[in-house]
Amino acid sequence: MRTVSSPAPLKNHVRMEMAAVADNVALSRVTVAAFAAQLDFTLDEIEDIRVAVSEAVTNAVVHAYGDADLGGGVNHGGGVNPAGGANPGTVTLEVAHDGEALTIIVTDHGRGIADVALARQPAYTTDPERMGLGFAIMESFSDELEVASEVGRGTTVRMVKRPRAARASGAGEAAGDDRPV
Amino acid sequence: MKIEQEVRGRSLIIRLGGELDVKSAPEFREATEAALDRHSSNHLILNLENVSFVDSSGLGAILGRYRRLQQGGGRMSLVAPAPNVRRVMELSGLFKIMPVFRAEERALEG
């Protein structure tokens, strides 16, 4: 099961493949925030994007493979990396915009999520050092969130964020909640 | 991440600077646990004034310290989170269990 990207023409896009390690979470935030500056986002909206990206990439680092750098606090014990060996696995970060909306896609090829609906519920965690709020935060800080996952194959998170200014001017879109994906 | 500490009586003040995320959360956790062990403090005051970013990993690390304090009959206070940090914290419900103060002195009095 894979998400299907919006058919809107892309004006710009960046695709970055990186090791699923904690250091790359900050790199992902910086990259997406810089890219998002091409649209008319407010500083608050850029902050929302930074948090949402951080959650999506952190999920890949912590849950998809289990990052050895973390020194504890990893939910699922030892890493399960289909690629094998000490390789931390890879995360792919894609950002695109069509002039109106920013789309962020984070893909891993890790263990996957057996029950996405359950994982999306707040406080879904067994680890006292984590809050289980990753998906709840992604959902609140973006306009659309889709999660597609297959056990043993990996997880794809797709988020869309539109500048409030563009939404208010009704640039070809209604309130934006019920638009087709 | 910058981590500064100061002991005032039985209060431990931890001042963080930078981004509290999956990379820095373990640093914060270990430094704070070690300081709590050393000083047997019963009040942890976490100064967030210079924290520019927090996500759920950072919140989890804060909650972990709160749980430790609470188990030992202690308490935890937050000081001066920036507006963007405050928004993430509000969503998490952390403010329902921990008081927030504008300044360290207020937290020390409170």
**Structure ipTM:** 0.94
CA quadruple A105, A135, A99, A31: dihedral sign: negative
B3 touches chain A (CB under 8 A): no
Confidence at residue A180, expressed as pLDDT on a 0 to 100 scale: 47
Q: Does the distance separating the beta carbons of B57 and A26 come in below 8 Å? A: no
Higher pLDDT, A120 or B76: B76
Confidence at residue A77, expressed as pLDDT on a 0 to 100 scale: 34
**End-to-end Cα, chain A, rounded Å:** 15
Q: Would you tell me how many other CB atoms lie within 10 Å of the CB of residue A83?
A: 11
**Residue A127, SS3 per DSSP:** coil
pLDDT of B59 higher than 70? yes
CA distances for A129 relative to A104, A166, B56, B58, angstroms: 27, 39, 10, 9
A144-161: pLDDT as tens digits: 999 999 999 999 999 999
Task: Report whether A181 contacts A146 (CB < 8 A).
Answer: yes
Which among B16, B21, B13, B31 is positioned nearest to B60, based on CA atoms? B21
CA distance A107 to A149: 10
CA distance A154 to A111: 6
A24 contacts: CB under 8 Å, gap ≥ 6: A18, A57, A61, A91
B56 touches chain A (CB under 8 A): yes
Percent of chain A residues topping a pLDDT of 70: 72
Q: In a mutagenesis test of the A interface, which of B56, B63, B95, B96 is the best target, namely the one with the most A β-carbons within 10 Å?
A: B56
Q: Does the distance separating the beta carbons of A131 and B25 come in below 8 Å? A: no
B3-45: pLDDT as tens digits: 999 999 999 999 999 999 999 999 999 999 999 999 999 999 9
A16-32: pLDDT as tens digits: 999 999 999 999 999 99
CA distance B80 to B14: 12
- How many residues in chain A? 181
CA distance A164 to A154: 32
Q: In a mutagenesis test of the B interface, which of A51, A67, A121 is the best target, namely the one with the most B β-carbons within 10 Å?
A: A51
A147 contacts: CB under 8 Å, gap ≥ 6: A113, A116, A119, A120, A135, A155, A156, A157, A158
Task: Report whether A62 contacts A111 (CB < 8 A).
Answer: no
Confidence at residue A123, expressed as pLDDT on a 0 to 100 scale: 74
Averaged pLDDT score across all residues of chain B: 96
pLDDT of A125 higher than 90? no
Q: Which of A55, A69, A140 sits opposite B55 (nearest CB)?
A: A55
Confidence at residue A69, expressed as pLDDT on a 0 to 100 scale: 42
pLDDT of A50 higher than 70? yes
Task: Look up residue A96 and give its two tokens.
Answer: 């695109």
CA distance B88 to B78: 14
Q: What is the mean pLDDT of residues B74-101?
A: 95
B31 touches chain A (CB under 8 A): no
Q: Which residues of B touch A54 (CB under 8 A)?
A: 21-22, 53, 55, 57
pLDDT of B72 higher than 90? yes
Averaged pLDDT score across all residues of chain A: 82
Q: Which of A22, A26, A137 sits opposite B91 (nearest CB)?
A: A137
Query: What is the set of active-site residues of A?
Result: 55, 59, 130
Which among A64, A57, A71, A107 is positioned nearest to A88, based on CA atoms? A64
CA distances for B25 relative to A21, A115, B85, angstroms: 14, 27, 15
B60 touches chain A (CB under 8 A): yes
B21 touches chain A (CB under 8 A): yes
Higher pLDDT, A94 or A125: A94
